Amino acid sequence: MKASETSHYSTMSQEELVSISKCLLLAIRKSDSVQTPTDSIDEKDERGLSVDVMEEQQKRLQHDVTLKSLQQLSENGKKAFWINIYNSFLQLRLRDHYRQQQQQQQQQNEGDASTTTSSAIPSSFYTTRNIPIGGRLFSLDDVEHGILRKYRWKYLYGYLPHLLMVWCSPIPKLAVQSLDCRIHFALNCGAKSCPPIAYYSAEKIDIQLDQATRTFLKQETVVAYTTQEIRISKIFFWYYGDFGGKRGIYELLEKYCLLDSSVHGGETCPNSTSEHDKTAAAGVTRDFRLVYKAFSWEQTTANYAFSPDDTSSSQSSQV
């Protein structure tokens, strides 16, 4: 049997698979660093090297990774691998989209009136299957709603399964066993109001998702005491069912020190030793009305929670 055939039939370890997804994301991050006229030769070489690494990892995903290996990932392995994959290919596809826009704009400037440009991201951007992994093509929607949300439909607040994903694809075998609502604070769709991008490891993902959730909620949640309102991200509205409805949202806010649980017999901010957190949460109860903030769809690329020089596998302090 040839070496190429061996790699096709052999399975990769979880560590190898997650490492590929992390290396791809790190390479994209490095290649996204802004070029300046004062860049040294070494900096330019490093940026060029990151492009080579990026292309190599994509080839490995396409030719070396097998669906069988992906099916054998643990629950934490699936979350880490597919979150990294989603954020990586979102950035790559946005690059392609903007490159096409620039070409169309250039044609307009040269007098081709038949060419028009639009700054909006079309819905097909998320549904087109152009992510090659394990001999199959996946879309961004396949990864987010099929695998990470366990084949839930992206409409109707997350309460209904997407039956076509169940019946007509390998997604059920690749999907997580149970939906973890914290993934919504780890996935970046390219909009300004999305959470920043971090890279995730299977062995640390529970801590990392906790940190990502806590950071996003504290940045995006506003308490209006005079009107007794808690203004939260529109993400909670779109995926209401993923969070367990109104009760689940309140419980999440209590867990991450944005709501006072002592009125229900618990301890204010039980998951933090910070007196600041406890003081901030005190008096904010479930009597406060939930209000969903406007979501900015302004396209924002390269929104990372880590620097291009960070090659550490630990992300818990930087998510």
Using the predicted structure, report yes or no on whether residue 88 has a pLDDT greater than 90: yes
Q: Minimum mean pLDDT among 146-155, 247-256, 273-282, 309-318: which range? A: 309-318
pLDDT tens digits for 288-309? 999 999 999 988 888 999 866 6
Strand 131-133 and strand 136-138: the pairing is antiparallel
Check residue 59 and give its pLDDT. 96
> What angle do helix axes 75-109 and 205-220 make, rounded to 10 degrees?
50
- Give the bridge partners for 133, in sequence order: 136
What's the CA gap between 254 and 262, in Å, rounded?
Answer: 10
| 8 or 33, greater pLDDT | 33
pLDDT tens digits for 104-161? 777 777 665 544 445 668 889 999 999 999 999 999 999 999 999 999 999 999 999 8
| 98 or 172, greater pLDDT | 172
Q: To the nearest whole percent, how much of the chain has pLDDT over 70?
A: 78
**To which residue do tokens 């620097």 refer?**
307
Is there a contact between 233 and 295 (Cβ–Cβ < 8 Å)? yes
Nearest to 17 by CA among 74, 62, 63, 81: 81
What's the CA gap between 133 and 144, in Å, rounded?
Answer: 15
Average pLDDT of every residue of the chain: 84
User: Which residues touch 73 (CB under 8 Å, ≥6 apart)?
Assistant: 14, 17, 81, 202
Using the predicted structure, report yes or no on whether residue 314 has a pLDDT greater than 50: no
pTM of the model: 0.86
Is there a contact between 53 and 27 (Cβ–Cβ < 8 Å)? yes
What's the CA gap between 66 and 12, in Å, rounded?
Answer: 8
